Amino acid sequence: AQSVTQLDSHVSVSEGTPVLLRCNYSSSYSPSLFWYVQHPNKGLQLLLKYTSAATLVKGINGFEAEFKKSETSFHLTKPSAHMSDAAEYFCVVRGWVGNDMRFGAGTRLTVKP
C-alpha cells in the first residue's frame, strides 16, 4: 500500500531564506508523487508532480522537488521564501494502478518578516 509521511508538522522560516519541507513515501509500485498547497479558506492548488520522468521537478512559484528512490524521499524546496508562501503544504502519493490519492498530514509553513 502507498503512503506518505511528512516529517514536520510546522516549519518556520524568515523571508528570503530557503524553504525545505520533507516528505518520505512508501509504495509497492513506482509512485507518482505530488505537492499541493492550501492557503487559508482556499482549495488545494497543485505545486508540482513527479511521474517517473526527470527526478528534479520544477513547479510553480519557484518551488521544486527531487525524487530520491534510494531514500524514498520527495522533499520540497524553494531558494528564497516569500510572505505569500505561508500556507499548508501536502505531499501526496498515487500508485501505478488506481484512483486513490493518499495525502500526508500536512506541513504548516510560517514566513516571518
| Binding positions for other proteins, rule: CB under 8 A | 30, 32, 34, 36, 41-46, 49, 51-52, 90, 94-106
Beta strands 107-112; 10-14: pairing state? parallel
Cβ 4 to other proteins shortest distance, Å: 9
Q: CB nearer to other proteins: give 14 or 45.
A: 45
Cβ 9 to other proteins shortest distance, Å: 9
> Residues with Cβ < 8 Å from 70, sequence gap 6 or more?
none
Cβ 32 to other proteins shortest distance, Å: 5
Report the C-alpha gap between 29 and 99 in whole angstroms.
Answer: 14
Q: Nine-digit cell at 78?
A: 524553494
Cβ 25 to other proteins shortest distance, Å: 14
- The radius of gyration of the chain from alpha carbons, rounded to an integer in Å, stands at 13
How many of the other CB atoms lie within 10 Å of CB of 6?
Answer: 19
Q: CB nearer to other proteins: give 7 or 44.
A: 44
CB 60 within 8 A of CB 76: no
Q: CB nearer to other proteins: give 1 or 113.
A: 1
Q: CB nearer to other proteins: give 64 or 103.
A: 103
